[in-house]
Amino acid sequence: MLFTPHRLGGLALPNRIVMPPMTRSRAAHGEVATELMAHYYAQRTSAGLIVSEGTQISRQGQGYAWTPGIYTREQIAGWRQVTDAVHAAGGRMFAQLWHVGRVSHVALQADGAAPVSSSALTAEGVKVFVDVENRGPQSGVGEMVQHSPPRALRVEEIAAIVEDYAQAARNALEAGFDGVELHGANGYLINQFIDSQANARDDEYGGSLSNRLRFLGEVAQAVYAVVGPGRLGVRLAPLTTLQGAVDDTPQATYLAAAKLLDDIGAAYIHIAEADWDDAPDMPDAFREALRIVYRGTLIYSGRYTRERAEHALQSGWADLIGFGRPFIANPDLPHRLQHGLPLNPGDRARYFGGDERGYTDYPRAA
C-alpha cells in the first residue's frame, strides 16, 4: 500500500510517503529561505507530500538560529523560490507554521524580551525545563543556549498570536505552498497550552481540558478560514514529553483534540511518535480510537521502516507515513524503499547548520 495513490484535499499524492518537517538551520540572514534550500527540497519531490521545516510565524516565535520565517516580504519571496522548484519537479508541499513559545532564546527576542508561554516559569523551573530539553536543533548550531524565565501570555495578547498564525497562512499561500501544517507538538507553544503539566493557567485558557484545547481550536479555526478545505494539517505528539511538555491523561486529551480538529475540518492530523530507542510505543487501541473520532487523513511519523509502514497502512489506522531522518541522506528514498535498496547513512555532524555538505550532496542510488 505504501506505493499506492492517496487523495489529500485537492492533491493527488502518487504514494503514501511523507517527508516530515525537519529543522536543518540553513536559512540566510533575516530568516530567509535560500536557493540552496530550494535545491534540497526539489531533490526530494518523489515523496507523496513534503512538509517544510518549522517556519516561524513571527520574530517572537523563533526558537533557533538560522531557521526560516514567513512573516516578511523577503521571507515570502525566499519560500516562493522553494515552492517553485518543488512544483517544477512535480512535488507537493505544505508549510509547517511554528511558534516555539518558551523554547525561544533570549538573543532571538526583540529587545531582549522574555519568551512567552501558556504559563510562567520561575528561575528554578527554567533549570528543570532546560535539564529535560533534549534532542533539539540548538545542540547542533550552538549559538543560542541561554534561556530566560518565560512569562505567561496575557489573555488580551493571545488574539494577536492567533492572527499571526492566520497571517502566516496567507503568506504561505502567497509563497506558493499547497497548504499549511500547524506545529502542535514537541513542546512548542500550542503544545504548551494543551498539556496539563505545561499549562498552569486559571483562566479560560487553562484548567479544564476544553480550556486547554481552546488555543489550538482558535488557531486552527483562524487558519482554516484562510486556507479552506483540504489545506490544513496539524501535528500532534500525544505520548512524547519533549522539552517538558507532559500531560497527565494523554489519551483522553488527544482524543478530544482529534475530535476538535475533525469538527473544524482539518485535512489531516500528523502524529509524531517518539523516535528514540527507549521511547514509549503507542497502544494500538489508542490508534484505533483516533481513527474512530477523526475522519480525515492520519499521518504517523517516527522510527518507521517499510515493513512497519506497510503494517500501519494495512491495519487501517494510518493513511500516510512520514520517514524523517532517512530523507536527509536519501533524496530518492521512495525509490530505495520500493526496490529494497540500501540507505545512505546520515552525517549527524551536519544535520543542523552549514553549507551544502551533508545537505544536498548525498548520492542517489545507481
Distance CA(194)–CA(253), nearest Å, equals: 8
Question: Which residues have CB under 8 Å from 24's CB, separation 6+?
Answer: 37, 40, 53, 351, 352, 353, 359
Distance CA(171)–CA(177), nearest Å, equals: 9
Which cell is 236 given?
A: 500532534
Helical ranges in the chain per DSSP H: 35-42, 73-88, 123-132, 138-141, 155-174, 189-194, 209-212, 214-227, 250-264, 284-293, 306-315, 325-329, 333-339
Distance CA(146)–CA(137), nearest Å, equals: 14
Question: In one letter, which amino acid is 96?
Answer: Q
- Under a CB-based contact definition with an 8 Å cutoff, are residues 119 and 86 in contact? no
Strand ranges (E), 99-251: 116-117, 151-152, 179-183, 232-236
Question: Which residues have CB under 8 Å from 127's CB, separation 6+?
Answer: none
Distance CA(100)–CA(57), nearest Å, equals: 10
Residue in this structure with the C-alpha cell 481513527, named with its chain if needed: 291
Core vs surface per residue 10-19: b (16+ CB within 10 A) or e: ebebbbbbbb
CA triple 214-220-226, angle to 5 deg: 140
40, 41, 165, 188: the catalytic one is 188
Distance CA(286)–CA(176), nearest Å, equals: 36
Phi, psi for 314 (deg, rounded to 5): -70, -25
> Is residue 188 flagged as an active site residue?
yes
List active site positions: 188
